[in-house]
Amino acid sequence: MNRFTAAGHDERVTSRVGAWLGVAFGLCFLTGLLSHAIQHPPPWFGWPSGPVWLYQATQGVHVVSGVAAVPLLLAKLWSVYPKLFDRPLIRSPLHALERGSILVLSGAAFFELVTGLFNVAQNYLWGFYFPTAHYAVAWIAIGSILVHVAVKLPVIRRAWSGREVDADRRRFLRTTWLGAGVAVVATAGATVPLLRDVSVLAWRSRGGPQGIPVNRTARAAAIAVPADWRLEVVTAAGTRAFSLADLTALPQATEVLPIACVEGWSASASWTGVRVADLLRAAGSEPGAPVRVTSLEREGLYRESTLPGRHTEDPATLLALRLNGEVLSPDHGFPCRIIAPSRPGVLQTKWVTRLTIEEIQ
Ligand SMILES: Nc1nc2c(c(=O)[nH]1)N[C@H]1C(S)=C(S)[C@@H](COP(=O)(O)O)O[C@H]1N2
Ligand SMILES: [Mo]
């Protein structure tokens, strides 16, 4: 006999919540793969430089779908937890396999959601490197979801056909959707300006000098700009050095571009500086080849980045000297930083000191 009679403990409820959880995890997985590929591009991979908000949108979906998955996962676990009390614990080898796969699935799902949330809060409580672990476990999670769906197909079929969901269960489902909706609104403000004021989890999208949040301050990065600072541009023809005065004397361009941090917040601003394509030409090189960007930072993980060829060609890609009409503040990358369209924030390198053309045909 079933001792658990609450409305949630019902396979029709489990499978409906499960379907939405599948959608949330699916979106989260795909957008996560994209973000990973942009940061570690395999040779066959190319990411467009426009529209300028493209990465902002895909990473927004990543964070929002991950947050929506939290109440969905809790509702699903609530819905099935009485099965933990089923006896005998293990009925057959196949049954053992099924139980085991659920254990792996729940563990991986929890790991992804919890580490993701802590990352959004910029709270690193663990010793491992977040992106590597989060990426590896994502494959375990998605693999075990596929196994789980395959194993449960008969139950899922049965749950979706047949009896109507009654009022009590509909109420449970409504509460679950409401929970997911609240979670979405609470985070979406980190990216959607209209929602900023109602989003309690969007604290990172405001504040900071010049109206833009700061991810790593100049002090944290131990930046000291030397008095004789020059920007070096290394091409096949040799190295050209530009002083700040040289850079300001070049034609200036202004673009409105977002910083879209992988952690989910994003903020648009007006950036002014030299188009990277123009700068490369001024240094005697045609844009279109990848360019390695090196900062004054000695140690940080993000001290260097590589601009792909299509970004060096795109006129919206700037070596920015000004932000919202003012000279860049030290925290935003003074004397100059890269700001390129449709790129993860982590690749918008600050405190730039050298550009190196990587492949010269
Ligand atoms: N040299 C350097 N550039 C960097 C970083 C860094 O740690 N070092 N952090 C990056 C990250 S993760 C983000 S989101 C953006 C944030 O830019 P902001 O601080 O001007 O908002 O800068 C990027 N540029
Ligand atoms: Mo970031």
Query: 203 lies in a domain?
Result: no
pLDDT for the residue 196: 61
Cβ(214) – ligand 1 distance below 6 Å: yes
Same domain, 137 and 267: no
- Residues listed for the chain: 361
User: Where does a domain end: 142, 170, 195?
Assistant: 195
Atom of ligand 1 nearest to the CA of 296: 1
Asked if residue 127 has pLDDT above 80, the reply is: no
One domain for residues 150 and 296: no
Q: Give the CATH number, domain containing residue 311.
A: 3.90.420.10
Any ligand 1 atom below 6 A from CB of 346 = yes
Looking at residue 123, its pLDDT comes to 61
Q: What is the pLDDT of residue 1?
A: 40
Helix (H) or strand (E) holding 273: strand 266-275
Q: Within this chain, do residues 151 and 257 fall inside the same structural domain, yes or no? A: no
Q: Are residues 170 and 271 in the same domain?
A: no
- Has residue 5 been placed in a domain? no
Q: Which of 160-164, 258-262, 297-301, 309-313 has the lowest mean pLDDT?
A: 160-164
Q: What residue owns the CA closest to ligand 1's atom 10?
A: 346
Q: Which atom of ligand 1 is nearest to the CA of 261?
A: 14
Q: Give the ligand at the shortest distance from the Cα of 266.
A: 1
* In 165-260, alpha helices (H): 167-188, 244-249
Distance between Cα 141 and ligand 2 center (Å): 24
For 279-301, the pLDDT digits (tens) are 999 999 999 999 999 999 999 88
Ligand 1 contacts CB of residue 349 (under 6 A)? yes
In angstroms, the CA 43 to CA 37 distance is 10
pLDDT band at 153 (very low <50, low <70, confident <90, very high): very high
* Residue 218 CA to ligand 1 centre (angstroms): 10
Whose alpha carbon is nearest atom 11 of ligand 1? 346
Give the Cα separation of 353 and 67 in Å (integer): 38
Tell me, yes or no, whether 45 and 140 share the same domain. yes
Per-residue pLDDT at 325: 95
- Distance CA(4)–CA(82), nearest Å, equals 7
In a domain, 133, yes or no: yes
Q: Which atom of ligand 1 lies closest to the CA of 297?
A: 1
- On whether both 94 and 147 belong to a single domain, the answer is yes
Confidence tier at 319 by pLDDT (50, 70, 90): very high
Residue 245 domain-assigned (yes or no): yes
Q: Do the domain assignments include residue 75?
A: yes
> Is 303 near ligand 1, meaning CB less than 6 Å away?
yes
CA of 199 to the centre of ligand 2 (A): 20
Segment 76-92 shows an average pLDDT of 89
Nearest to 34 by CA among 59, 56, 6, 52: 59
Q: Is the domain of 140 the same as that of 238?
A: no
Q: Are residues 239 and 180 in the same domain?
A: no
Domain membership of residue 32 (yes or no) is yes
Residue 189 lies in a domain: yes
Task: Tell me which ligand sits closest to the C-alpha of residue 262.
Answer: 2
Lowest mean pLDDT among 9-23, 118-132, 302-316: 118-132
What pLDDT score does 266 carry?
Answer: 85
Q: 259 or 360: whose pLDDT is higher? A: 259
Domain extent, residue 294, equals: 210-360
Domain closes at, from 166, 195, 224: 195
361 pLDDT above the threshold of 50: no
Q: Kindly state if the Cβ of 56 falls inside 6 Å of ligand 1.
A: no
With cut-offs at 50, 70 and 90, classify the pLDDT of residue 100. Answer: confident
Q: Read out DSSP for 64-95?
A: HHHHHHHHHHHHHHHHHGGGGG-SSS--SHHH
Flag whether pLDDT at 360 surpasses 70: no
pLDDT tens sequence across 197-215: 555 555 555 678 898 888 8
**Nearby residues for ligand 2 (ion, Cβ within 5 Å):** 215, 261, 345-346
Question: In this structure, what token pair is assigned to residue 220?
Answer: 């944290």
Do residue 142 and residue 281 come from a single domain?
Answer: no
Residues 225 and 138 in one domain: no
Which ligand has the minimum distance to the alpha carbon of residue 207?
1
Q: What is the pLDDT of residues 156-190, one digit of tens each?
A: 999 988 777 889 999 999 999 999 999 888 877 76
Q: Quick one: which H or E segment has residue 160?
A: helix 130-160
Same-domain pairing of 228 and 348: yes
82 Cβ below 6 A of ligand 1: no
Substitution candidate for ligand 1 out of 350, 351, 352 with most atoms within 8 A of CB: 350
Domain count, the chain: 2
Question: Tell me, what's the pLDDT at 206?
Answer: 60
> Would you say residue 2 lies in a domain?
no
Amino acid 125: pLDDT: 63
User: Domain end: 160, 195, 230, which one?
Assistant: 195
Task: Note whether 92 and 223 are same-domain residues.
Answer: no
Residue 112 has pLDDT above 50, yes or no: yes
